[in-house]
């Protein structure tokens, strides 16, 4: 699958999905005017990847901010990783947050509780 790269805009994040390397990254801010319009094609790609995933997949979140309606597509991405893990693949999720942003760290921990994929945390 060809790498999916979407440059950030003022209200949408940078998306870098390198399917060959099994590396997925979402960074920046996410509060699109139309959440569905932005995330539907991205989720479609990850669903396609999940049919025949690589041995190792690594999902990185490096978000400064996301709004309440971006929560669902983020959760969908995380759940998709869980699905891949259940296919006996090696999956890790890295949750990065701005130094001192304890709210953002907390949301990461909330996501981590929902799945069995191991989360690691780091600040940027």
Partner 1 sequence: MAKTGDIFSLIDWMRFLEEENIVMSFKGEFNQELINAILLLSSNKENLNEQSNVIRNRIFSIIVECLQNICKHGADDESRSEIKPGIILISKEGHTVYISTGNLILNDEVDLLKEKINHLKGLNSEEIKALSKKTMLTATLSAKSGAGLGLITIAKKSKKIDYEIKKINEQISFFSLEASISTLVN
* Binding region for partner 1 (CB under 8 A): 10-11, 31, 33-37, 39-40, 64-65, 67-69, 71-73, 75-76, 98-104, 110, 114
- Taking the complex as a whole, the smallest distance from the CB of residue 39 to partner 1 amounts, in Å, to 7
- Taking the complex as a whole, the smallest distance from the CB of residue 114 to partner 1 amounts, in Å, to 7
Instruction: For residues 95 and 111, give the distance between their C-alpha atoms in angstroms, rounded to a whole number.
Output: 10
Report the residue number, 53 or 73, with the smaller CB distance to partner 1: 73
CA 12 → CA 9, 38, 66, 75, 118, distances in Å?
5, 8, 9, 16, 26
Instruction: For residues 16 and 24, give the distance between their C-alpha atoms in angstroms, rounded to a whole number.
Output: 6
Instruction: For residues 107 and 99, give the distance between their C-alpha atoms in angstroms, rounded to a whole number.
Output: 14
Give me the numbers of helices (H) and strands (E) for the chain, helices first please: 3, 6
- Taking the complex as a whole, the smallest distance from the CB of residue 11 to partner 1 amounts, in Å, to 6
- Taking the complex as a whole, the smallest distance from the CB of residue 5 to partner 1 amounts, in Å, to 22
């Amino acid at each position: 699958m060809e790498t999916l790269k979407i440059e950030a805009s003022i209200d949408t994040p940078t998306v870098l999905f390198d399917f060959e390397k099994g590396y997925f990254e979402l960074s920046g801010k996410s509060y699109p005017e139309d959440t569905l319009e932005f995330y539907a094609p991205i989720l479609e790609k990850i669903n396609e990847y999940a049919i025949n995933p690589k041995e190792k997949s690594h999902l990185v979140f490096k978000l400064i901010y996301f709004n309440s309606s971006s929560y669902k597509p983020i959760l969908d991405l995380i759940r998709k990783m869980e699905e891949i893990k259940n296919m006996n693949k090696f999956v890790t999720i890295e949750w990065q947050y701005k130094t001192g942003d304890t709210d953002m760290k907390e949301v990461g921990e909330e996501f981590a509780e929902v799945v069995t994929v191991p989360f690691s945390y780091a600040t940027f």
